[in-house]
């Protein structure tokens, strides 16, 4: 096979007749989902903190050992109400190497994201870069548990305490993961999960803010429902952040199958590790076997010693209908929205830029079988050999 696709962008007869996507949705217990949906229809309770949402919140609290779970309609709204509920102002330090929603949630509320660099070994926020980014206007640090591999909480919490800053986490990738044996969800003031369809645990669309702070939880609950306390009493500035009952039904059905999803992801990750191990210049990011992991992302760094560049490898895969992705290229600070604004043009984050130019993410989850993964590894090996 040629390492380069034809001008059409697809091989005449691609190896996969149907596209193989990154983030194809996992579907859990369909029978349970249908039963819960019928219960919802019989009750005619479709939204507004219904019984299924309450069941899901309680189940998540039990799973991760946290006091409060506030289910919301998506992870971005979760970030926004977490920001509002903590009265953040001025500047907030975030990684540039993340999905842009982390930064957009701040700009949407009139705050300024200040981008810090990452540790190239872990892809998580680098504490030294965070220290260098602090100014008198800084009010908080919002790290991301990238790829489900937890950020260095002890170091980041120490920095936040030293400078009197708030610390809370974008945990969109890290549902079901742990750090030091402690489940993600228990760090910082609160943590925000995404349950988008592409996540290994999904509620169609949705998310949650979890916390052990009783007062913060109460404020989050008010804010997700327009600030209402009772039928007619508005006591907070709020928004419509409620999770619908149908989404909670999907969440409960998927929660029942969570262990199976994790096992499939782990099996797939091991298959990729075996299939790519002999290829030069490719580094598959691993997971700490001492921790709980969801193995949601198969992340490969394509180094300078690989005969085919990252983008050439991406083209070879896409030509065969394997829709691998560049994550999170080119980095938020290099996206036009930020790059073209005052204060961002001269931002230099060498580790972020290097990793963003190297990373490729491969398909996994219940939509990818071992035979599929074997063929993907063959495509990569052929592309490397042809270069």
pLDDT tens per residue, range 275-317: 999 999 999 999 999 999 999 999 999 999 999 999 999 999 9
Query: How many separate helices (H) and strands (E) can be counted in the chain?
Result: 13, 15
Confidence check: pLDDT of 5 > 50: no
pLDDT at 283: 97
Q: SS3 breakdown of the chain: % helix, strand, coil, rounded to 5?
A: 40, 15, 45
Pairwise CA distance, residues 77 & 79, whole Å:
5
Among 4-13, 63-72, 151-160, 210-219, which is the least confidently predicted range? 4-13
pLDDT at 387: 79
190 and 331 Cβ atoms separated by less than 8 Å: no
Alpha helices (H) in the chain, listed in sequence order: 30-43, 51-64, 75-85, 101-108, 127-133, 153-163, 214-223, 245-255, 258-276, 310-319, 336-339, 350-356, 370-386
Any idea what the Cα angle at residue 355 is, between residues 182 and 143, rounded to 5°?
Answer: 35
Q: Angle between the 258-276 and 245-255 helix axes, to the nearest 10 degrees?
A: 60
State mean pLDDT over 192-220: 98
pLDDT at 134: 98
For 284-309, letters b (16+ CB in 10 Å) and e give: bbebeeebbbbbbbbbbbbeeebebb
pLDDT at 2: 39
pLDDT at 23: 87
Confidence check: pLDDT of 216 > 50: yes
Pairwise CA distance, residues 349 & 250, whole Å:
40
Cβ neighbour number for residue 86 with a 10 Å cutoff: 19
State mean pLDDT over 253-268: 98
Cβ neighbour number for residue 18 with a 10 Å cutoff: 8
Confidence of residue 230 (pLDDT cuts 50, 70, 90): confident
Domains of the chain, earliest start first? 30-255 (3.40.640.10), 258-386 (3.90.1150.10)
Instruction: Of 118, 117, 108, give the one whose Cα is nearest residue 88.
Output: 108
pLDDT at 12: 66
Q: Whole-number mean pLDDT of the chain?
A: 95
Pairwise CA distance, residues 159 & 350, whole Å:
22
Give one DSSP letter per residue of 197-209, joined into a string.
Answer: TTSSS--SS-EEE
pLDDT digits (tens, 9 = 90+) for 78-124: 999 999 999 999 999 999 999 999 999 999 999 999 999 999 999 99
Any idea what the Cα angle at residue 62 is, between residues 208 and 249, rounded to 5°?
Answer: 55
pLDDT digits (tens, 9 = 90+) for 178-204: 999 999 999 999 999 999 999 999 999
Confidence of residue 10 (pLDDT cuts 50, 70, 90): low
This prediction has a pTM of: 0.94
Pairwise CA distance, residues 135 & 358, whole Å:
31
Pairwise CA distance, residues 137 & 90, whole Å:
5
User: Which percentage of the chain shows pLDDT scores above 70?
Assistant: 97
Confidence check: pLDDT of 174 > 80: yes
pLDDT at 193: 98
Among 99-108, 210-219, 260-269, 333-342, which is the least confidently predicted range? 333-342
């Amino acid at each position: 096979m040629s390492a380069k696709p034809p001008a059409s962008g697809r091989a005449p007869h691609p190896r996969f007749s149907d596209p193989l996507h990154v983030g194809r949705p996992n579907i859990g217990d369909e029978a349970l989902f249908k039963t819960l949906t019928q219960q919802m229809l019989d009750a005619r309770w479709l939204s507004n903190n219904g019984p299924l949402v309450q069941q899901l919140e309680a189940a998540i609290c039990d799973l991760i050992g946290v006091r409060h779970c506030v289910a919301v309609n998506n992870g971005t709204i979760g970030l926004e109400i977490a920001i509002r509920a903590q009265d953040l102002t001025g500047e907030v330090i975030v990684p540039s190497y993340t999905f842009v929603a982390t930064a957009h949630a701040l700009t949407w509320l009139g705050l300024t994201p200040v981008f810090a660099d990452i540790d190239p070994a872990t892809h998580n926020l680098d504490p030294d870069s965070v220290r260098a980014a602090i100014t008198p206007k800084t009010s908080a640090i919002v790290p991301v548990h990238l790829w489900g591999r937890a950020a260095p909480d002890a170091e980041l919490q120490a920095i936040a305490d030293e400078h009197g800053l708030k610390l809370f986490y974008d945990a969109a990738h890290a549902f079901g993961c742990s750090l030091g044996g402690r489940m993600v969800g228990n760090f910082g003031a609160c943590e925000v999960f995404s349950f988008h369809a592409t996540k290994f645990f999904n509620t169609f669309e949705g998310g949650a803010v979890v916390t052990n702070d009783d007062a913060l939880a109460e404020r989050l609950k008010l804010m997700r429902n327009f600030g209402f306390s009772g039928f007619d009493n508005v006591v907070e500035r709020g928004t419509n952040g409620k999770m619908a009952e149908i989404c909670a039904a999907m969440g409960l059905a998927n929660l029942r199958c969570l262990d199976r999803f994790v096992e499939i992801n782990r099996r797939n990750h091991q298959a990729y590790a075996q299939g790519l191990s002999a290829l030069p210049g490719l580094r598959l990011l691993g997971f700490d076997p001492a921790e709980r992991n969801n193995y949601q992302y198969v992340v490969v760094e394509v180094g300078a010693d690989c005969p085919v560049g990252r983008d050439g490898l991406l083209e070879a895969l896409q030509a065969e209908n394997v829709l691998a992705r560049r994550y999170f290229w080119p980095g938020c600070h290099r996206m036009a929205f930020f790059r073209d604004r005052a204060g961002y043009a001269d931002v230099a984050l060498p580790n972020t830029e290097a990793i963003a130019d190297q990373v490729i993410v491969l398909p996994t989850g219940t939509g990818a079988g071992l035979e599929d993964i074997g063929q993907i590894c063959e495509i990569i090996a052929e592309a490397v050999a042809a270069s």
